[in-house]
């Protein structure tokens, strides 16, 4: 099978009825697979778009400000140099 999906049905006593039911179930499964694949592609595209997007100007400013404060704290841990 090209799709790799198979369906078996033995609900009815009639072979023809079973084939019709199996064909309908197969169509439902294939449509579900196509829907899932399309949803996955949309999700992946949206995720890639979100990760490529840069930070906003305000969040960048806040981040840089926090780094500057942290740098000042670390600089204060250095050796105390007296005036000799």
Mean pLDDT across 10-31 = 94
pLDDT score recorded for residue 82: 75
Q: Range of 70's domain?
A: 15-75
Q: Is residue 36 part of a domain?
A: yes
Residue 83: pLDDT over 80: no
CB 45 within 8 A of CB 18: no
pLDDT score recorded for residue 61: 97
Q: Is residue 2 part of a domain?
A: no
pLDDT score recorded for residue 2: 82
Question: Residues 6 or more apart from 26 whose CB is under 8 A from it?
Answer: 5, 6, 7
pLDDT score recorded for residue 84: 63
pLDDT score recorded for residue 80: 78
Q: Is residue 44 part of a domain?
A: yes
The pTM is what?
0.55
Domain count across the chain? 1
């Amino acid at each position: 099978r090209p799709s790799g999906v198979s369906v078996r049905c033995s609900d009815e006593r009639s072979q023809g009825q079973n084939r019709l039911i199996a064909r309908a179930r197969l169509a439902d499964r294939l449509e579900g697979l196509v829907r899932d694949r399309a949803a996955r592609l949309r999700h992946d595209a949206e995720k890639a778009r979100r990760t490529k997007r840069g930070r906003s100007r305000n969040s960048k400013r806040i981040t840089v400000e926090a780094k500057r404060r942290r740098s000042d704290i670390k600089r204060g841990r250095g050796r105390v140099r007296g005036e000799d």
